Amino acid sequence: MAQAYMTETGGGGTGPGRRGSRLRRLYDALRGDRGIWRRGIVLAALAVVLALVMLLHARIPNRVGNLGSLTETFLPWLGIVGVPLLLILSLLRKSATALIAVLVPVTVWLNLFGGLLGDKSGSGGDLTVATHNVNADNPDPSDTARDVAASGADVLALEELKASAVPVYERALASTYRYHSVQGTVGLWSKYPLSGVEPVDIKLGWTRAMRAAVRTPEGEVAVYVAHMPSVRVKLAAGFTARQRDTSADALGEAIAEEKLSKVILLGDLNGTMNDRALNAVTSQMRSTQGAAGSGFGFSWPASFPMARIDQIMVKGIEPVSSWTLPQTGSDHLPVAARVNVTTP
């Protein structure tokens, strides 16, 4: 009697035989479910649309609400959020068609952003730079200044400097940086001498960009600091960025006319490297995060970073490593990079 019981229940256990039989039953059930291929057609179509949006983002027009630029600003998130959502819904629907279709946006996303998933940072470098939008309403500018100075940056750019807070930053940074200049709402602090300091006209009517030559031990480098106008997403007007786009074109012209061969751009561009509206700048410079960073390096908003709008870009200089710094009293994260000025 006991022997018969053991045979009938498979030993009453949960061993490999038991698990194998469950998998076989599941397989048989799915194989017998002819609807597995018919269900989920809508999900499959959505997966293909998602893939096409990512693949053809450059063709999305900007004529209506700057929709193209808006899409490109948050382009990585289409895959980060969209693919897992479609995968979960496909599994819930038990749809083989939808599951196979999800592979299409996965492939496109990996083609676009897979290179950012690894760590490309290296060792060495002869100059460390950092930039931070400190936020005009920063409750503790002194602490923020000390935090970014602790990064070890040889050259530090600050944006959104409120006139009343400038003396606070100057005092807090004086012991680390011997040289500095503030032009309008942007400033540059350096351990090395500055020359040729001047504001850069980015068509705003007030100063939010500057240029200086930094005399490093490895040679002279032109350093630009810029804070592009803010963009807004409005229900009626869409992605309002015309003023930002005009300023980006002006900044691109200034950099193109730069006489020095080695150039670094530090600042809050209020746009990502994917945004076509910044082509005047991005087409002639390299992002340190893309070339030598780890991951996406999102910098805004600081509480839950979703976009890399704070940029360090170089021309005629080799990026070595790039990273974000810990949160300060600002709504942006500071970003830093190590570069080789003495490129072969």
Three-state SS for 47?
helix
Rounded to whole angstroms, the Cα distance separating 318 from 337 reads 11
Cβ-contact 147, 170 below 8 angstroms: no
pTM: 0.86
Q: Minimal CA–CA distance to 272: which of 253, 244, 251? A: 244
Rounded to whole angstroms, the Cα distance separating 61 from 77 reads 19
Query: In the chain, what are the domains?
Result: 33-116 (no CATH), 127-340 (3.60.10.10)
Mean pLDDT in residue range 314-340:
97
**Antiparallel, parallel or unpaired: β 209-216 and 219-227:** antiparallel
Q: What are the tens digits of pLDDT across the range 118-170?
A: 899 999 999 999 999 999 999 999 999 999 999 999 999 999 999 999 999 99
Cβ-contact 272, 305 below 8 angstroms: no
Q: What are the tens digits of pLDDT across the range 105-117?
A: 999 999 999 999 9
Give pLDDT, residue 220: 97
Q: What are the tens digits of pLDDT across the range 20-71?
A: 676 666 555 555 566 788 899 999 999 999 999 999 999 999 877 788 888 9
Structure token digits, residue 265:
């751009």
